[in-house]
Amino acid sequence: MSTTLFTFLGRPSQEQAGKGGYRKTRYEFSDGDRSEEVAFLGWPLQKRLRPKRMVIMGTAGSSWDHVFEGDLDFAANAEQARETLIQAVHSGLVGRALLEPLERPLSEHIGCETRLVLIPYCRTEEEQVELLRIMAEHVAESDEVDIDVTHGFRHLPMIALLAALHLQVVRKAEVRNIWYGEFDPDTAKASVHNLVGLLRIADWLQALHTYEKDGDYSVFAPLFGRPGVLLDRAAFFERTINPVKAREALSTWSSSLNRIPSGDPAALLFRDELESRVSWFRRDDRALWEKELAWCYLRQRDYLRAAIFALEAAISRNVRDEAGAQIGDYDARSQAKDDLIRMGNEHFRALNSLRNALVHGARPKGWIEAALQDETQLRARLEELLSQIEV
């Protein structure tokens, strides 16, 4: 595993260019560390982070000349190549052939493998996707990555955030920091902010999207740290139709003081939704748990689990009403199911037939066949049958 620092080169304003390029400042980090006076944040980040590789990215019109005559005392290394590059910068015609000869001497000068990479202006969707591809090209599987968005064009930080998400997915990379140096013209100081928390919010949004699709709240588990183990366990038991074990895990999770990570502000955005989703476990009666779960899965369009939990709710109600019967006893529940069918409970029999068709792929005639051909009919029929269950 290696570490890579990406940093963008932009272009100073006309006013700044008339004064010799980017203004210099001392960058101050949150731990109080201050850099020497430089214009380009990439250099103090390279010294601070000690990455194996530094990738400096810019367009054909970026201020490549600043890399070699702004902050660094580059001596006489590759003098001709430098002069040719500086001339090309003024005409906005920097090409790969001008950058490549300077990579090795720059790497030797700063003591870090350095790549000078041309990127498109990222004005179109095609160019934006190309930037993601270029960045992924410089990252190996499971690498650690830092991204500095201080000096790029104004729209590049948004694309860099997408690139960070892309690297997490396609390279399984750990994006450690997203750096931004904010210059205050009133004080002539620059505070360095870490925007990596945006990725944390993105992780929560992605988990929420997945959860809304299928109702599986185990997707939140990795984001909760240790308490997430209980959530994962509860979700497993719930989705394997074991509400008793699921309730035990949720009860333990709920009683934990740190069930919602206090150090993660993003977690607070989704706390109410999660606690609402698992509120069924607070009910005192198993039939109520199962009926509420049936409604949950019906809303998620998981019709098989909706039918199973609805059937189990009716059975739990029947067992509960039998004197001396244990609601969790297998034989008692099996007998209750047989009794409901034998007594001619039409709603229960219809629900049981629908459940069998969903589980076994059978295609009986009549309303079940029609319902299995049309989602609107299936949903309406399940809603009707579920509403008929008295718990």
200: in domain: no
205: in domain: no
Residue 56: other Cβ atoms inside 10 A: 24
> Which pLDDT score, from 0 to 100, does residue 18 have?
45
Give the domain range for residue 60.
3-195
Question: Among 282, 305, 337, where does a domain finish?
Answer: 282
Greatest Cα pair distance in the chain = 98
Report how many domains make up the chain. 3
Instruction: State how far the Cα of 312 lies from the Cα of 328, in Å rounded to an integer.
Output: 11
Q: Quote the pTM value.
A: 0.78
Question: Among 160, 195, 230, where does a domain finish?
Answer: 195
Write out the two tokens for 245.
Answer: 């074990």
Q: Which residues touch 232 (CB under 8 Å, ≥6 apart)?
A: 218, 221
Write out the two tokens for 209.
Answer: 């999207």
Identify any residues that bridge with 115 across adjacent strands, giving them in sequence order. 55
312: in domain: yes
Do residues 83 and 170 share a domain?
A: yes
> Which pLDDT score, from 0 to 100, does residue 69 have?
62
| CA neighbor of 116 nearest in space, from 140, 139, 100, 133 | 100
pLDDT in tens, the chain (391 residues): 789 999 998 875 545 544 555 678 899 999 999 999 888 899 999 999 999 999 999 998 888 877 776 666 665 556 777 777 777 887 778 889 889 988 998 898 899 999 999 999 999 999 999 999 999 999 999 999 999 999 887 788 889 899 999 999 999 999 999 999 998 888 878 999 999 989 988 988 888 888 888 889 999 999 888 889 999 999 999 999 999 999 999 999 999 878 887 778 888 888 888 888 899 999 889 999 999 999 999 999 999 999 999 999 999 999 988 766 788 889 999 999 999 988 888 989 999 999 999 988 766 778 999 999 999 999 999 999 999 998 8
Instruction: Tell me the per-residue pLDDT of 144-167, one tens digit each, with 9 for 90 and over.
Output: 999 999 988 778 888 989 999 999
Do residues 272 and 373 share a domain?
A: no
206: in domain: no
Output the domain CATH number for residue 354: 1.20.120
Question: Among 258, 282, 306, where does a domain finish?
Answer: 282
71: in domain: yes
